[in-house]
Amino acid sequence: MKERAVLVTTLHRGVFFGYAKETKGKTIKLRSARCCIYWPASTKGFLGLASDGPLDGAKVGPAADIELRDITLVAECTPAAVAAWEKSPWAR
């Protein structure tokens, strides 16, 4: 199964970016997952993180391989968003 770049939200205030092969189940394994701690209003809602990625002022955690539970939404990310996520430094 082809790996895709996705934005995943959880019931526990988690907003994650990462790469997943399987996205239909109750749990999702994300490779190189990054948590968005804060996104500015210019993102125009959290789905802007899937369309444009983190913008200036966003705070993003470091990358880790994780398994997420209590999934509420999975959205495919655009190439522009992927590039923005990948170049965002870890920020408190």
Partner 1 sequence: MGALIQETLPSWTNGSGSGYGSGSGYGYGSGSGYGYGYGYGYGSGSGYGSGYGSGSGDGYGDGSGDGYGSGDGYGDGSYWRSCIKYFAARWLPMQRKRLAELKRAKAKIAYWRSDSEGRPANGGRADPVKPGDIQREKGPLQLCNKGTLHATLLPPKWKGERWWIVALKGEVVGDDDKYGALEREIIGECL
Interacting residue ranges for partner 1, rule: CB under 8 A: 6, 9-16, 23-24, 33, 35-41, 43-48, 50-51, 61-68, 71-78, 81, 90, 92
Least distance from partner 1 to the Cβ atom of residue 3, Å: 13
Expressed in angstroms, the distance from the first to the final Cα of the chain is 34
Please classify residue 12 by burial: count the beta carbons closer than 10 Å to its beta carbon, then call 0-12 exposed, 13-18 middle and 19+ buried: exposed
State the burial class of residue 80 (Cβ atoms within 10 Å of its Cβ: 0-12, 13-18, 19+): exposed
Beta carbon of residue 85, minimum distance to partner 1 (angstroms, whole number): 13
Residue 3 or 38 with smaller CB distance to partner 1: 38
CB of 19 to partner 1, least distance (A): 13
- Smallest distance from partner 1 to CB 92, Å: 6
Between CA 32 and CA 89 the distance in angstroms is 13
